[in-house]
Amino acid sequence: MLATAGLLIYAGALAAAALSDLVSYQIPNTICLVLVAGFAFAAPALPLPMILFHVACGAALLVATAICFAFRLMGGGDAKLLAATALWVGWHNVASFILLTAIAGGVVGLILLALRRFAAPAEPGRWWGRLLARGEGVPYGIAIAASGLVLLARLGPALLQ
């Protein structure tokens, strides 16, 4: 029952992160904290060594993404979301997660390039104005969340045994 609650928290938090990044180009710290707390619900369904591997994966990606943030290679919200999601996916899925995130980020980027080139300028005050503005970045939280949700199919069975 707790593992199911944890998985629902995981899916909901990732969806909230994607929506927040899409609309405001920000991922609130609370969403990342909810992801971590959700793992605490799901973790008792795993053996202790597996829990430790998941925690080590999340910590390693937190360090790696903090370094990327320090060099302005990624946003702070993206760094935290990537690390919090890595806590869930663990070492055995982290390569797939990073690859899927890169592919999804490329797709989001290409879609935005096309929209920015061909879409009419947004009316002032509309949430999509920044999204369609040329020269703006890519809200990478969408790609991170999409990849995490794709991997839900792998995570669920391991936690719900």
At 71-108, the pLDDT tens digits run 999 999 999 999 999 999 999 999 999 999 999 999 99
pLDDT of residue 51: 95
Give the pLDDT band of residue 134 (cuts 50, 70, 90). Answer: confident
Which residue bears the tokens 């997660």? 97
Has residue 37 got a pLDDT over 70?
Answer: yes
Q: For the chain, what percent of residues have pLDDT higher than 70?
A: 99
**pLDDT tens-digit map of 45-79:** 899 999 999 999 999 999 999 999 999 999 999 99
| pLDDT at 3 (0 to 100) | 84
Q: Are 57 and 91 in contact (CB under 8 A)?
A: yes
pLDDT band, very low/low/confident/very high, at 161 (cuts 50, 70, 90): low
Q: Which amino acid is at 65?
A: T
Whether 159 shows a pLDDT value over 80: the answer reads no
Closest CA to 97 of 119, 67, 64: 64
Q: CB 126: neighbour CB atoms within 10 A?
A: 11
Evaluate whether 154 touches 147 at the Cβ level (below 8 Å).
no
**Contact between 150 and 99 (Cβ < 8 Å):** no
Yes or no: say if 84 and 32 are a contact pair by the CB < 8 Å rule: yes
**Angstrom distance (rounded) from CA 107 to CA 133:** 18
Confidence of residue 10 (pLDDT cuts 50, 70, 90): very high
Highest averaged pLDDT of the listed ranges 12-16, 122-126, 130-134: 12-16
User: How far is residue 87's CA from residue 93's CA, in Å, rounded to a whole number?
Assistant: 10
Q: Can you tell me whether residue 25 is helix, strand or coil?
A: coil
User: Mean pLDDT, to the nearest integer, of 101-117?
Assistant: 96
Inter-CA distances, 67 with 60, 73, 74, 113, Å? 11, 9, 9, 27
